[in-house]
Amino acid sequence: MLKIENLQASIDDKSILKGLNLEVKAGEVHAIMGPNGAGKSTLANIIAGKEDYEVTNGTIELNGEDINELSPEERAHNGVFLSFQYPIEIPGVSVTNFIKTAINETRKARGLEDMPAKDMLKMIREKSELLEIDRKFLSRSLNEGFSGGEKKRNEIFQMAMLEPKLAILDETDSGLDIDALRIVANGVNKLKSKDNAVIVITHYQRLLEYIIPDFVHVLYDGKIVKTGDASLALELEEKGYDWIKKELV
């Protein structure tokens, strides 16, 4: 589904990704871990198409198609979803209206009619139940005055509504208490299928107790330096990153 080869990228002439390779197949869950400043969020933003970064080398393919020239919205229309570490507040636009706009713009881009209101309501009902979201919450302005946990849960709600092919969760666990973490993880697990894939970016192993990854990658200094199964996350939790740094020397 996603194939990244020798990706090199920089921001303001500062090199951040230095030859990164990653392949994610449909049905898989990948975790990307690593110390602060390794380039984890940069990778997420580059896949989603943020224009602040300059890709200087390498390719990103989604389902066999090079997406490097596509705008963020075109990537979204092709099924890429990024759950933001710091979701944006939009006063005056309710959660419901925002997600309706997002869904219908995506449908428009795919040559489909607007989703009938009845179907939309049904879907909102189902997905909000899945994520144990109070209905009142949906009529509030998007992310305005939301707690950190509410913002993250709202991100996963939007993901559930948009049904992406590739979901990237950028530190979705930060700011979540243990109950919210369980609900969010449960939601992600229920949305998982053989046709979609998930990349979980996290500092901690905690989330990976609920969302079991097929692969765990260690991102360090702009490259993936180690790949293993779920047990690697446990090892990192226990020993930190220093032993990997030493291995590299």
Partner 1 sequence: MELKEKILSSYVAFENGININSDIHEIRTEALENFEKLGFPTKKLEAWKYTSLNTILKNDYSLFLNKDASVDLADVKKYFIHDIDSYKIVFIDGKYSSFLSATTHDAIDVCLMSVAFTKPKYKVVIENYFNKVAKQDNLTSLNTAFATEGAYIHIPRNVELEKPIQIINFTTGSEAATMVQPRNLIVVEENAHVQIIERHQSLTSNAVLSNVVTEVFADRYATVDYYKIQNDEENACLVDNTFIDQKSNSVVSMHTFSFGGNITRNNLNFYQNGEHIDSILKGITIIEGKQHVDHHTLVHHIEPNCESHQDYKGIFDERSTGVFNGKIIVNKEAQKTNAYQQNNNVLISDKATINAKPQLEIFANDVKCSHGCTIGQLDSDALFYMQQRGIPMKEGKALLMYAFANTVLESVKIPEVKSRITKLIANKLGVNIGFDL
**Interaction site with partner 1 (CB under 8 A):** 48-52, 71-73, 75-77, 80-82, 84, 87-88, 90-93, 96-106, 109, 114, 158, 162
Q: Which is nearer to partner 1, 99 or 184 (CB)?
A: 99
Q: Which is nearer to partner 1, 167 or 233 (CB)?
A: 167
CA distance 177 to 174: 9
SS3 91: strand
Q: What angle do CA 105, 65, 49 make, to 5 degrees?
A: 55
SS3 83: strand
SS3 165: coil
Min dist CB 161 to partner 1, Å, is: 10
Min dist CB 170 to partner 1, Å, is: 11
Q: Which is nearer to partner 1, 158 or 205 (CB)?
A: 158
Min dist CB 239 to partner 1, Å, is: 35
Min dist CB 87 to partner 1, Å, is: 7
Task: For residue 226, give Cα distances in angstroms to 25, 160, 194.
Answer: 18, 31, 25
CA distance 3 to 47: 10
Min dist CB 69 to partner 1, Å, is: 15
CA distance 25 to 167: 12
Q: Which is nearer to partner 1, 95 or 232 (CB)?
A: 95
Q: Which is nearer to partner 1, 78 or 205 (CB)?
A: 78
Min dist CB 93 to partner 1, Å, is: 6
**Token representation of residue 203:** 């500092």
10, 169, 198, 214: CA torsion to nearest 10: 90
Q: Which of 244, 208, 216 is nearest to 24 (CA)?
A: 216
Q: Which is nearer to partner 1, 54 or 105 (CB)?
A: 105
